[in-house]
Structure 1
Amino acid sequence: MPVQHLTVGIVAVKRKLNNPWVDFEWLPEAVLPGLPAVAPGTRIGAEGAVERWYIGPADITFHSGETAHYRDNLVSGRPAVWVALREGADGAWTVAGATVDPYEGEAFVDVVTDKVEALPMPHEIAVDLQAFVDAHHVDQPFFKRKRDRKDPHAEPDYGLGHPARQPGRRS
């Protein structure tokens, strides 16, 4: 099964909150098509109460069995990369995952402590993804299952919990 790996950089935004319980909010903000020349955890800019940080690298894997999902993402009108950030025990935020599969990205929100965003897909990643889909996509025909017809002359199947099926009881 063909697989392709891309390594991307993730930028997050840190905002000061006016909240008695939480000082800052971290959210993924951008996906870089390559790795920048700065170390993970580097502050790369600030505007008032908002800081931008290079969080670190993330691996995106294309699987040939998921090309229909990738195609759905590409034709959506707003191709996206889903990024999840997670806070470590030391309080530092790291990349928990990144994907271009919209259904996998939807599953990222199941971890309620992660911060998940669908970020705009950089053109370079969209070109690589489209090339992968073009090379490996195989249309799967849709087969509608048909139910078995019930025999109108068969005895009714009441199941084990039905009183007519209890031991020692006659119907």
Structure 2
Amino acid sequence: MPVGVVVRRRPGATRWAKWSWRPVALLPGAGPAEWKELRREGEVVDFHAGTLPLTVHRKETGAYLEALSARPPSAFVVLRPGAERPVLHLVTASPFLAQDHLDAGDEIVERLEMPPALTAWLADFVDRHHVEERFRKRRRDEVDTELVEDGRGDPRIRQAADVYRSPAGRKR
């Protein structure tokens, strides 16, 4: 589904950042646009920054259930730093994918409330494709621990006592 992203530009809080950019709204089913000005109040401007596809996959329905169960149901927008203004990178309904982008630290990741149309569309997709998987605890491999001599140290050292001795200083 194509989703438009509204980004708000306001004056920066410090002298090092001229502008502060923040995604503020989603527009499901929006047409193409590139930084089209929507509203202006003094120096604060709302732009339709662009439209990206919100792509969903059958195997990730567990992540979408997390997004739908949040109050309010949420989607995530990722902006990357650009020369003059940020670059619209991704719109996702997966909080796990959003977390991956937060780990990098240089991208703006914003959680936004899903509009009702987007919530209904995603809930319908999850209802049709979600398969509950039973939790299965993995078993460890059967390893014979008697075959490994543990705590022996460096095999190049002949005496076991040398493993624990601190190195002697060299005389020059």
Q: TM-score range by the shorter chain?
A: 0.7 to 0.9
Higher relative contact order (CA 8 A, sep 6+): 1
> Equivalent of 2:128, from 118, 122, 135?
135
RMSD: 2.5
Matches within 5 A, 1:1-171: 6-36=1-31, 39-89=33-83, 91-147=84-140, 155=146, 157-159=148-150, 162-163=152-153, 166=155, 169=158
TM-score by length of 2: 0.81
Counterpart-to-counterpart distance in 2, 1:39 and 1:7: 11
Moved over 6 A (4+): none
Whether the 8 Å contact between 2:67 and 2:75 is mirrored in structure 1 is no
Distance 2:104 2:10 in 1: 21
Distance 1:150 1:18 in 2: 59
Change (3 A) 1:41 1:139: same
Q: Identity across aligned pairs (percent)?
A: 32
How many angstroms apart in 2 are the aligned matches of 1:47 and 1:144? 56
* Structure 2 portions without partners, runs of 5+: 161-172
Deviation at 1:106, TM superposition (A): 1.2
CA distance in 1, matches of 2:79, 2:102: 11
Question: Secondary structure of 2:103's match?
Answer: coil
Structure 1 residue ranges without an equivalent (≥5): 1-5
CA contact (8 A) 1:9 1:58 kept: yes
Write 1 or 2 for the structure with the bigger share of helix: 2
Residues 56 and 94, structure 1, Cα contact 8 Å, conserved in 2: no
Equivalenced residue count is: 160
Counterpart AA for 2:149: Y
What displacement does 1:35 show? Answer: 1.2
Shift, 1:77, TM fit: 2.3
User: Structure 1 or 2: larger strand share?
Assistant: 1
- Quick check: which has more Rg, 1 or 2? 2
In structure 1, distance between residues paired with 2:92 and 2:125: 15
Q: Is the 8 A contact 2:33 2:51 kept in 1?
A: no
